[in-house]
């Protein structure tokens, strides 16, 4: 069952990412090289790409094979945290700022709504929750911190900021730094919640047995 779900979820993620890439090229407002860089500057794209790679890796795993980094406790939880926060931020802060139609709307819903839900379901069934440690949260923060550093540094040179809440041109450095701090706090809190909830589920499972 796990392998079949990995294949299915992986195909959905790859379809969404690749289709979004083609749509962005088709509707580009900058040169092709700049469009490519901008495409990979969106946390949505990078995180969905991470999900696609994760599920693809799981699809090629041998049955009951638990070796390798990808199968270590906490890896799936970290991926789930990233995609969950991406979905939450979109639903709360970004959904209202544009109204996609047609194929773009379908891809938009896949990237920001369906795929986060699928990853959470997958996490619930297949993460080894009892072995995930709270201290792993510090490592999980590296990805969003590096991402924030990248988009702020590149934005200072290119003038392109992928999201309005980190747009230094409109908000100023101080406001963006405050927003970034809140985002890092959000990542830490959600990460801790996933570890705690995972252990709670695991404890209930043991008691039920």
pLDDT in tens, 43-88: 999 999 999 999 999 988 766 555 577 888 899 999 999 999 999 9
C-beta of residue 36 within 8 angstroms of C-beta of residue 160: no
Domain with 117, as residue range(s), is: 2-208
| CA dihedral over 61, 3, 207, 76, signed as positive or negative | positive
Counting residues of the chain whose pLDDT is more than 90, the rounded percentage is 81
CA dist 186 and 173 (Å) reads 20
Burial category of 37 from C-beta neighbours within 10 Å (exposed 0-12, middle 13-18, buried 19 and up): middle
Q: How far apart are CA 140 and CA 37, in angstroms?
A: 24
DSSP string, 98-164: ----HHHHHHHHIIIIIHHHHHHHHHHHH--GGG--GGGHHHHTHHHHHHHHHHHHHHHHH---SSG
As given in the structure block, the two tokens for residue 1 are 């069952």
User: How far, in Å, CA of 59 to CA of 6, rounded?
Assistant: 5
Report how far residue 137's alpha carbon sits from residue 196's, in angstroms, rounded to the nearest whole number.
11
Tokens 């999201």 label which residue? 163
Residue 206: per-residue pLDDT: 47
For residue 204, what pLDDT band results from cuts at 50, 70 and 90?
Answer: low
Per-residue confidence band for 207, with pLDDT thresholds at 50, 70 and 90:
very low
Alpha carbons 12 and 121: distance in angstroms, whole number = 15
Count of domains in the chain? 1
How many CB atoms lie under 10 A from the CB of residue 73?
Answer: 16
What's the CA gap between 144 and 177, in Å, rounded? 14
The two structure tokens encoding residue 182: 């809140």
The backbone torsions φ and ψ at residue 64, rounded to the nearest 5 degrees and listed phi first, read 60, 20
Does 112 score more than 60 pLDDT?
yes
pLDDT at 29: 87
What's the pLDDT at 208?
A: 42
């Amino acid at each position: 069952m796990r392998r079949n779900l990995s294949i299915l979820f992986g195909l959905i993620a790859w379809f969404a990412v690749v289709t979004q890439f083609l749509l962005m090229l088709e509707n580009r407002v900058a040169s092709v090289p700049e469009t490519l860089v901008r495409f990979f500057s969106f946390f949505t794209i990078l995180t969905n790409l991470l999900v696609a790679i994760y599920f693809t890796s799981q699809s090629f795993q041998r049955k009951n094979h638990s070796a390798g980094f990808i199968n270590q406790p906490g890896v799936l939880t970290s991926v789930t945290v990233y995609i969950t926060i991406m979905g939450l931020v979109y639903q709360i802060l970004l959904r209202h700022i544009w109204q996609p139609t047609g194929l773009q709307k379908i891809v938009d819903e896949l990237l920001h709504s369906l795929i986060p839900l699928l990853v959470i379901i997958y996490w619930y069934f297949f993460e080894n929750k009892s072995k995930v440690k709270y201290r792993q949260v510090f490592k999980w923060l590296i990805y969003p911190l590096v991402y924030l550093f990248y988009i702020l540094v590149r934005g200072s040179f290119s003038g392109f900021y992928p999201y309005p809440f980190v747009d230094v041109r409109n908000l100023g450095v101080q406001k963006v730094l405050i927003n970034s701090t809140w985002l890092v706090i959000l990542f830490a809190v959600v990460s801790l919640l996933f570890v705690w909830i995972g252990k709670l589920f695991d404890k209930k499972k043991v008691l039920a047995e």
